[in-house]
Chains A and B, each alone.
Chain A
């Protein structure tokens, strides 16, 4: 999912899925994050920031 911005503090951020739907995601485990970064989300929690360089 793509990070949009803070969603009310306590580690929650709004994120957009590929279908455009916005969901609040817990970023505690990957902070700090910045808008437009991509994260892998599982059960409402971001587990890892995606690495564009490694994807190549």
Chain B
């Protein structure tokens, strides 16, 4: 497979792993955080942890878009799904994210018309085909996914489709990183930067991390060689006393991102003053709402929602997992009360959720 197989070469992987051993100071412990669910998935899928020396630790930050959705927002979605005549659409992972009284899958079992889609464009197609129904898309995701929602809404507006609306839960990557870096219990040496978010925003928005917080960043791809090479690039920066934003994923990530994507996002979305993140609390200017020009498509204005903040279950430690304070399996309920079949926290739901 072009652009993929080359980055799964086991022999090259062993070579890079050897270079990592040579690059590290055996007396020092290194803690590198990735902030993209795709990296978390790749690290466990390919056993990348096992290829690294014992003193190089990978921890997982708040990069899984499903994992950061708070319970109150799920409750809002479920309330809309139960409205008469509504077809409620969302990505597959969202179906199993627990709200305070069940999941969207439970709502479907109770009779709500909840459907999984791969793209908001699929939801718009349903709206086009069934003009007598209200079709709602529960939008989640970082800057990688937000352009898709934006383009879908621009199509809906251009075509005059009035039975389509969006619950906008899109978030942006920089504010949670800044919040993490301000956290007093943070102990990190560098960041493996989010490759797919960077296709949209580029490398420039991460420059504040070395400039203001003295931590290096390497934007990384998602194949095993990508992640290994990114770890090596970070460790070399640390051993050479450099602190920069580097782009390992140059075959995909332009330094300036995708200007057209940023423009459509700017047209369709506006920043919320604050947005709640699962386990992290409210973070200023970290969430997107629909702009005034697209307010007619805002499901939160079209339907009545509880809009209530719901505290995470006491036993749930997703917040500490998302901040890299503990590993997923160090959570008190991991694999016991919280399982993929009956998740308590969001991290257990998604394959990107550690």
Contact = CB atoms under 8 A, between A and B. Distances in A.
B151 interface: yes
A34 interface: no
Contact of A45 (B4, B147, B252): B147
A35 interface: no
Given A29-B258, A48-B258, A54-B251, A40 B148 contact: no
Given A47-B144, A50-B3, A40 B119 contact: no
B215 interface: no
Contact of B251 (A26, A28, A47, A51): A51
Interface of B: 1-4, 6, 91, 118-122, 141, 144-145, 147-149, 151, 155, 196, 199-200, 250-254, 258, 260-261, 264
A50 to B, nearest CB: 6
Contacts of B253: 48
A29 B121 contact: no
B119 A44 contact: yes
Contacts of A26: 121, 148, 151
Interface residues of A, number: 19
Contact of B200 (A28, A47, A50): A47
Interface in A1-38: 10, 18, 26, 28-30, 38
B148 A43 contact: yes
Interface of A: 10, 18, 26, 28-30, 38, 40, 42-45, 47-48, 50-52, 54-55
A44 B149 CA distance: 10
A42 B148 contact: yes
B1 A18 contact: yes
B6 A55 contact: yes
Contact of A29 (B1, B122, B264): B264
A48 B199 contact: yes
Contacts of A48: 199, 252-254, 258
Given A18-B1, A29-B258, A55-B3, A45 B151 contact: yes
B254 A10 contact: no
A20 B86 CA distance: 34
